[in-house]
Amino acid sequence: MKCGPAANKFGEFIVKNLYDESVDFFDLLARGHWKAPAIQQLQKDLAALSPEQRAVVRRCVLRSLGAGLHRFLFALGEAHDFKHGIAVIVDGVDVVEQSDGLHGESFGPDGWMAKYSKYPEGYPEYNI
């Protein structure tokens, strides 16, 4: 898919600040990095898993984030199409208007994940 500059700017923002930050958080969690008392037990539970099990959990996190991102982008398109009063405006432009399917912009070798993510390998190859 090909989209305009405002949509690409939004794509870069959401990939880096939502998707990548969430993966970074999980990776640090799995390494026992965080000091917050509220997540100490979770870190201990992850540490008790084998490396293979932690890898499965990480793949689940990546797929869940991918599914959530895909659904969010699809919902933005629907909100625009059905005039629900929800829009993302970047540089004065509604990002949905710069794409023929915002939810598809993250896929493929030229998609947002390939261009902007530190973890493109974890993103689903096909629509969910």
Which are the contacts of 44, defined by CB distance < 8 A and separation ≥ 6? 32
Report the pLDDT value the prediction gives residue 19, as an integer from 0 to 100. 96
Q: What is the pLDDT of residues 29-67, one digit of tens each?
A: 999 999 999 999 999 999 999 999 999 999 999 999 998
* Residue 105 pLDDT: 94
All residues at 6 or more sequence positions from 4 whose CB lies less than 8 Å from its CB, including other chains: 93, 98, 99
pLDDT tens, residue by residue, 62-115: 999 998 999 999 999 999 999 999 999 999 999 999 999 999 999 888 899 999
CA 33 to chain centre: 22
Greater confidence (2 vs 65) lies with 65
Which residues are paired to 89 by β-bridges?
94
Paired residues of 94 in beta bridges? 89
Residue 126 clears pLDDT 60, i.e. is over it: no
For residue 3, the tally of other CB atoms under 10 A from its CB is 22
**pLDDT for the residue numbered 123:** 72
Task: Give dist(CA 69, CA 116) in Å, integer.
Answer: 14
Structure tokens at 84: 């629900």
Q: Locate the domains of the chain by residue range.
A: 5-117
Cβ-based neighbour number of residue 38 at 10 Å = 7
DSSP letters for 39-105: GHHHHHHHHTS-HHHHHHHHHHHHHHHHHHHHHHHHHHHHHHHTT-S---EETTEEGGGG-S-GGGT
